[in-house]
Amino acid sequence: MNDFESQWNALGTKHHSSGRLRVYPDHQLDFFIDYALNGDRELIIEAKDIAFNFPELPFFENLEVIFAQTSGGSRIGITLTDEHLFKSFTVMCFDIAERSKGGKNLEESFMIALECLRDWSELFKRRGKVGLTRNEVIGLWGELHTLESILQSNIAPDELIVQGWRGPNGDQRDIGFNKTRIEVKTQLATKAISLRISSLDQLDDGGNNLKLTLNRITPSDKGFSVIELAQRLFQRFETNRLAYAEFERKIVLAGLSEDQELCKEKFDLDERLIYEVADNFPKLTLSNVSVGIIAAEYVISGAAITSFQIDWDKLVGTLSE
C-alpha cells in the first residue's frame, strides 16, 4: 500500500469540512489530500513563492485538473471523478511525488510533477475502455513470468530488476538490464513456433545485447493467471518499498484488473525458448530494408532460428556480466 492510499484510508469517511491532510512532509513541494465539496477525492500540489506561466494542462476523462496562481505561489488541483479508479489514482499520486523528488530545485520539481501528470493522462483514457484483450493478457503473462524468473536468479537488487521491466512504459524493449535487452514473446503451445514482430525497431539492438524469449503456454487449471503471478511478485516485494512501489506503478500502467474475467484465466508454461539475436538473425530493421520503407510487421519461422537458441543459464550470465 503506498503512502497516499494509506492516508486516504486513514481519513476514512471524512469529507471536505474536515480539512486537508499533508502527505510527504519532507518533499520540497507541498502535497495535500482532501475531499471536494461533492465528496470527490483531491490531490493538491503547491509550490510556495514561485509563479508559473503554465502551458495547457493534460486532459483526463476521469480527472479534473486545475492550475491556479495563489498569493503564496502556484497550485495544481487534481480531482478524481470516477471512484472506481481510486487505486490507480493513488498510484499516480505516489508516482508524481516520487519522481518529482529528483528535482534540483522547487521549480524543477514542479515541472517534473507536471510532466508526470502528462504521462498518466493516456493511462486514464485507456482505463475508461473495455480492458485488456486476451492477446494482451497472454503477453502480460509472459512478461511477468520472465520477470519472476530473472528475480529468482538474484543477480541484482529487486528494485533494479523491476526498473528494467520496460514493457508497461511503452518502450520498444520489454526488459532491459545491464546493457542487455530482452524481447518477450508469448504464444499458445497449440500454434507452430513463430515470432510475430510488430515493428522495424523491435529487433534493432541499439548497441545492446539483444535476447528473445518465447514462452509457449497452455490454458490449464493447474497453471496461474496474470493476477496470481502479480500477487506472487507483490508478496516477494513486501519488505522492499522501492521494488513494491515501482511494480505497483507498472501493473497499473499495464492495465491489469482483478475484476476482468480474462485476467483470471490460468495458463501453464509448456516450454520457454531463448534466442540470441545476432547480426545474422533473420530480422528487418531500418538499416537493412529498402529506402522508403518506414514501417513493417512480419513473422519469423521457428525453423529458421533454431541455430540461434541458447539456454536460460547463458541468458542469466549475460544479465549478470
**pLDDT for res 121:** 80
Q: Which fold has domain 3-127?
A: Yope Regulator; Chain: A, (3.30.1460)
Compute the half-sphere exposure of residue 17: CA atoms within 13 Å on the CB side of its CA: 1
Closest CA relative to residue 141, chosen from 256, 221, 222: 256
In degrees rounded to 5, what are phi and psi of residue 320?
Answer: -95, -5
Strands, E, within the chain: which ranges? Answer: 21-23, 30-35, 41-48, 63-70, 73-80, 175-177, 180-188, 194-197, 209-224, 267-276, 298-301, 309-310
**pLDDT for res 15:** 60
**pTM confidence score:** 0.80
Query: What's the chain's length in residues?
Result: 321
Extract the C-alpha cell encoding 213: 524469449
Give the DSSP letter string of 158-201. HHHHHHTB-GGGT-S-SEEETTEEEEEEEEETTSPSEEEE-SSS
Spatial distance between the Cα atoms of 123 and 85, rounded to a whole number of angstroms: 11
**pLDDT for res 263:** 94
Q: Are 48 and 26 in contact (CB under 8 A)?
A: no
Spatial distance between the Cα atoms of 268 and 259, rounded to a whole number of angstroms: 21
Rg (CA), the chain: 22
**Identity of the amino acid at 201:** D
**pLDDT for res 54:** 63
User: Sheet harboring 41-48: ordered strands across?
Assistant: 21-23, 30-35, 41-48, 73-80, 63-70
Per-residue pLDDT of the chain (321 residues), as tens digits, is 677 887 877 776 656 556 788 888 889 999 999 888 888 889 999 988 777 766 677 777 788 888 888 887 888 899 998 888 888 888 889 889 988 988 888 888 988 888 888 888 876 666 555 678 999 999 999 999 999 999 999 999 999 999 999 888 666 668 888 889 999 999 999 999 999 999 998 998 777 789 999 999 999 999 999 999 999 999 999 999 889 988 988 898 888 888 889 999 999 999 999 999 998 999 999 989 999 999 999 999 999 999 999 999 999 998 887
Domains in the chain: boundaries: 3-127, 134-320
